[in-house]
Amino acid sequence: MEDIGAKIRTERKARGLSLKVLAEKCGVSTMTLQRIETGNTSPSVAVLAQIAHHLLRPIHFFITDGHPKIQVLKRENHQIVATPNMKLTIVAPVGLIDEKVFVNIGEAKRGRFIDSHTEDGYSFVYILKGKALFEYEGVKYDLKPGDALYYNASYPHSVTAAGSNKFVSIFFKGKK
C-alpha cells in the first residue's frame, strides 16, 4: 500500500502537479489523494486508473516492483495533442525513458503549425515526410525528409509546413 502511494507522489511531483490539481483531475478530494500517497488508504481500481492516466503511466507501473524488462505501448493508449494545424502523438511519455525526456510523432498541415515560442530544454527533430521551414532566432532553415536538427529550445523558434508533414520529435527538458 505504501509503495503505490510513494510512486504516485513521486510521479505527481515530477510532473509539477499539486495534490489539489491531481485530485481534481481524478475526481477525488485532496484529502483522499493525500491519504493514498501516505499509504493510509488504498485507491480503488477506478481511482488508480484515473491517477495513472493523468500521470501518463500505465496502471501496472504503480502496482509492480522494479522496472519491467520490456514495456509495450499500444497505439490505442498513446495520448494525442491536437490543434487545427498539427497533431502530436506522444509515443514515449515523460518518465518512460527518463523523467525529462519524451518522444512524439507529429503531423502537420500546410502553413504555420508552431508559432514562435521558447521552452526550457533541447529538441531533436527528424523529418519523415514533407518539407518544413524552421525559423530559429530569425534564421530560416529549409527541411526535407531525412533532415534532422538539434537545438536549444530556450531561443525563439517556429515551424511552417510547405504541405503535409510528418516528423519525430524528442524533447529533453532542461538537458543538453
pLDDT tens readout for residues 93-150? 877 787 788 899 999 999 999 999 999 999 999 999 999 999 999 999 999 999 999 9
Q: Domains of the chain by range and CATH?
A: 2-63 (1.10.260.40), 75-173 (2.60.120.10)
Confidence of residue 35 (pLDDT cuts 50, 70, 90): very high
**Considering the entire predicted model, what is its pTM?**
0.64
Distance, CA of 140 to chain centre: 27
pLDDT exceeds cutoff 70 at 175: no
User: What spatial distance separates the first Cα and last Cα of the chain, rounded to whole Å?
Assistant: 37
Query: Average pLDDT, whole number, for the chain?
Result: 90
The grid cell for 87 is 497533431
The grid cell for 142 is 529549409
